[in-house]
Amino acid sequence: MKYIDEWNIADSGISDDDILINGNRFLIGNGNLGYRGTVEEADATHMPATICNGLYDRQGKKWREPVNIPNPIVIRLFTQQKDLLSIKSHNLLSHEQRLNFRYGIFSRSTSWNVNNSNIQVQSERFLSMDEPHHLYVKYRVITDAPVTLLCERGIDGLVYDINGPHLIQFESDQYDSMLQLRCKTQEQLIPITVISEAKYVGGDTVRQFEQHTVSKVPYIAELIKIELHPQIPFVIYCRSSIYSGEESSHSYEEDIKLNYAWNKEGDVLYDRALQRHRSVWDRLWKDGDVIIEGDPASQRSLRFSLYHLQSIAPRHRAGLSVPARGLSGQTYKGAVFWDTELFISPYFLSTDPSVVRNFILYRIRTLPGAIRKAHEYGYLGAFYAWESQETGEDACSDFNVVDVFTGRPVRTYFKDKQIHISADIVYAIKQYLSMTGDVSILTEGAFEVILNCALFYFSYIYYSPMKNRYEVLDVIGPDEYHERVNNNAFTNYMVHFTLNTALEYINYFSDTDKQFLSDKLQSTGFLPYIPLLYDLVSKIYLPEPNENGIIEQFDGYFRLEDLSITELKKRLLDPKEYWGGANGVASHTQIIKQADVVALLHLFKDQFSNLIKERNITYYASRTEHGSSLSASMHSLVYCDVGQPELAFPYFKKTAEIDLTGEAKQFAGLIYIGGTHPAANGGSWMSVVYGFCGFAVKDGTIFIKPQLPKHWKKVVFTSYVQGKKYTITVNKDGYTIC
């Protein structure tokens, strides 16, 4: 990959690995849809994907996953001998694809030699930030000698699926240059409509409609014979429209009217749509940009991270969130994790709080699913899903990894024992309230979420009469290599925070709206447990630092084998074997997957002295494998907090460059987990703003503690606090807030 300038990247790779990574790296999106960075002629083997936020399906007994919509922008060129011109063709001369992440515009330039004619394709596309259902493409072909080509422009129903196929009941229509493909999902019969319209400019063309099926899946296309003349470009202006659910039942007659306008003025309409799209991005960057002076590489990687966050923010519909792999494909089942609350929300909380409000509305909407999960396990309240989809049901399977030696699935306990997710949601709600002052979210359902999460912990934790304290047993903390441990420090502190937050807002409504409080305490079944709440808050066990100042990650952690990561790697028999679980190489050692105690020290940094934080980050940094993209940013934050920005900087760099380099973990066991990394993208922003700039808000007051890396000159960022916008400039000597 190469860097063109501060807003443009490019790559010329054509290997299978390049195609896979570039699909993520060159992703475009608008919060409603995501489209992978593949070329127009790509087939299912190249893993093109059009992902619609919030749309899921289950095929047979396999796990549910996002639906890969029929590919709406297939454009394929053939020689007269029907040889496909692709990046895998023997007559390929050159290929490069680019992403302008200032405006979310993908482009490619590819050339071939056909019968002594040099043919070049240049295209660009964007998912409109102004029109959430529309994908626009401009496809240009030019040659240096006369040549005849065949061109197919179509909609391809044969797409790549991890656990598919997901689509049935295909129907198609064609009117003039408008192609329409309709289908439904298998599980819930949700309708999907994909429309492709085109205007052709230049060249001598003969058009005909063609439709055929591949493996019972339709490929609907318009076949065009093109007579190309030297240096006279042939251009296709294409608009694809994608609708699902109720939105897909629009008028076919209206589509025909729209197509008439597009067929007549497609080039003009394309330019207008691009202008509107760019205007929205200008508005988003006005508040969402962070300026770093003195380090162009850091500036680029941070902006690239923020581009990916802005591309997947669900602004078009209330009650949606952000999947752990964004809209880059079907890995991690397209599920929403705790990533959203602790890693993604902070950026939007400062730059566009309405997005975080939407995240909270998603958790309110899925509260019934969390209550059902708690009930299924025999608990009260809300046990939020580890992998949450559209209803809040837990999409996580019992067997998440495969033993590379036997090929057998391995039982994991992620969904059963990662109980901290409910507390993470409460933490995010509290942060939203603190930053915005928008207490209306409490009466819209957030207060019920808090009460139900507290109820869940009432029924989960144990009382030890011998120790006269409440303990949290049999859990998994953020470090997933060690399962079913007792008193994970991160989890215990988060549970305590949830109980305290419930008590705080009970007291708040006791002063402001007693009737509302009474109704909610009754409807949630919380009222009889108020005395217990006070007892729990005062007696829950919160692990303290030992004589060396180290907080034990969980009971018995210090008794595990202590060795280096290098030594542990020598024990691996297969590079893809899973490190955790009952028999993983790390499970009986002190080597951990990701920040655990370190994450605790960031979230509750005011509760620990700098000496305690410094000793813990030193101890755990050498024992952390960083097998999760969530990990590095937490180390960066804590190193900054203890005044060591130079030690923090490599962790920031690792976080911010993860989707630029593509050097992230691609497999867990034999399961492919590739895709973009929104949590790391958010972590890169936190590393700069919370870490190097020392930004914090307490009781509505902004605090800044500058600790920039030595080679940085200045950082400028925006934050909304209590509804007021502030521009903050941090340099070596101090800061300004205006």
Query: In angstroms, how far is CA 370 from the centroid of its own chain?
Result: 21
For 1, counting Cβ atoms within 10 Å of its Cβ (0-12 exposed, 13-18 middle, 19+ buried), the class is middle
Cβ(57)–Cβ(187) below 8 Å: yes
Taking alpha carbons only, the member of 607, 513, 617, 600 closest to residue 554 is 600
Residue 131 phi, psi dihedral angles, 5° rounding: -130, 100
Give me the residues paired with residue 672 across strands: 667
> Can you state the angle between helices 514-524 and 447-460, rounded to 10 degrees?
40
Q: Which amino acid is at 581?
A: G
**Active-site residue (options: 131, 387, 390, 480):** 480
Query: In angstroms, how far is CA 485 from the centroid of its own chain?
Result: 29
Cβ(553)–Cβ(477) below 8 Å: yes
Token match 């606090």: residue?
721
Helix or strand (DSSP H, E) at 131: none
What's the DSSP call for residue 719? E
Residue 699 has a CB neighbour count (10 Å cut-off) of 5
Tell me whether residue 480 is one of the annotated catalytic residues: yes
Taking alpha carbons only, the member of 243, 228, 262, 244 closest to residue 120 is 228
Residue 32 phi, psi dihedral angles, 5° rounding: -90, -40
> Which token pair is 580?
């955790």
Ordered alpha helix ranges (H), 540-621: 565-569, 597-603, 610-621
Query: Sign of the CA dihedral 145, 150, 153, 157?
Result: negative
Report the alpha-carbon distance of residue 321 to residue 334 in Å, rounded: 11
Which residues are designated catalytic? 480
